[in-house]
Amino acid sequence: MEALNELLATHGLWIIFLIVLLDQGGLPIPAWPPLIIASAQAVEQQMPVWPILLVAAVAALVADIIWYHAGRRFGSHMLGLICRVSLSPDSCVSSTRAIYAKWGPPSLILAKFIPGFAAVGTTLAGQQRTPLHRFAMYDGAGALLWSGAAVGAGALFHDAVNEALLTLDSLGRIGIGLVLVALLAFIVHKAWKRMVFMRELRMERITAAELRALFDDPQRPLVVDVRSEAERAATGWIPGAVQVARVSELAPATAGEVVIYCDCPNEASAARLASQLKQLGFQRVRPLAGGLEAWRSHGFDIEAPAGSHQASA
């Protein structure tokens, strides 16, 4: 306990900055427990908590600006990287993209409270060329709200937090071991969820070139777009593709091949819907490898809403 107090007193704000920066940077290092402990200790020692709040918010904003610039420079490739390295499979699901497409930068105020949304939301802001000052305004407000919730919890329940710390301190090495085991369990749980998620996505894909060739076949496949209406309006869609977000929206009597696409990394949403359709008895269902981005990169035609200025690729 005394060692913790000395550490926080000497390097506390730097430790808080580093932990929050790493946490918001994508590493599996939970930042809330240190924030709660630091604020509880500050109240116990009759010290102000606002420096903790400010440092945590600045660290979160710095990490998010890095994500923002990465999205601005690397676009969809950065989103693919997030999905490959993240322990949170939620960040690969297109629903997070639909939220940003619908609400835009104001959604960043609550982004850190939505699993998997923070990194994707900040990266999307950069990819969609959201002005930096507007991004910083909303994301900064979200960083303050997120940090304030943790600091406020520590200040409000400082007695309970400090009693828990005293209990761990009295256990000596056993207490430290319990903390390490809890952290390891957290990481293992996240890794297991990711493994299960990635296993769901393993199935045969169809390439953009193969799909285009099938358009000349008399038995043209049914092409299904699982993105939101807002995303379709913003980026267009593959000619003839129908919008379907749920299995119930696709006619059970659909015959022939079904090709499903999205524009999320690893075709996550498309693969999930394809898996559900196969379980319902659809014989030939494949996600489009690379999604809409792959189709566009080949220079194939893109349909757009009536009156739109989007040109065919």
d(CA 197, CA 199) in angstroms, rounded, equals: 5
Is residue 241 pLDDT above 80, yes or no? Answer: yes
SS (H, E, C) 229-250: HHHHHHHCECCCCEECCCHHHC
Give the pLDDT score at 1.
45
3-state secondary structure of 236: coil
Angle 247-251-252 from CA coordinates, rounded to 5°: 85
Taking residues 47-54, report their average pLDDT.
Answer: 91
pLDDT at 312: 47
Residue of 306 and 302 predicted with greater confidence: 302
Block residue for tokens 């030939």: 284
Which tens digits make up the pLDDT trace of 164-187? 665 655 655 675 666 667 767 877
Considering only residues 141 and 74, tell me which one the structure prediction assigns the higher pLDDT.
141
Stated pTM of the model:
0.60
Residue 303 DSSP label? B
Domain 208-297, CATH: 3.40.250.10
**What confidence score (pLDDT) does residue 143 get?**
94
Which residue(s) pair with 222 in the sheet? 258
What's the pLDDT score for residue 278?
Answer: 79
**Tokens coding 38:** 């630091």
Where do the CATH 3.40.250.10 domains begin and end in the chain?
208-297
3-state secondary structure of 212: helix
Per residue in 207-237, pLDDT (tens digit) is 999 999 988 888 888 898 988 777 788 788 9
Q: What is the pLDDT of residue 245?
A: 63
Q: Give the number of residues written for the chain.
A: 313
pLDDT digits (tens, 9 = 90+) for 55-102: 999 999 999 999 898 888 876 666 666 665 554 554 454 556 667 767
- Give Cα separations from 250 to 15, 225, 235 (angstroms): 52, 11, 23
Work out the average pLDDT over 132-146. Answer: 94
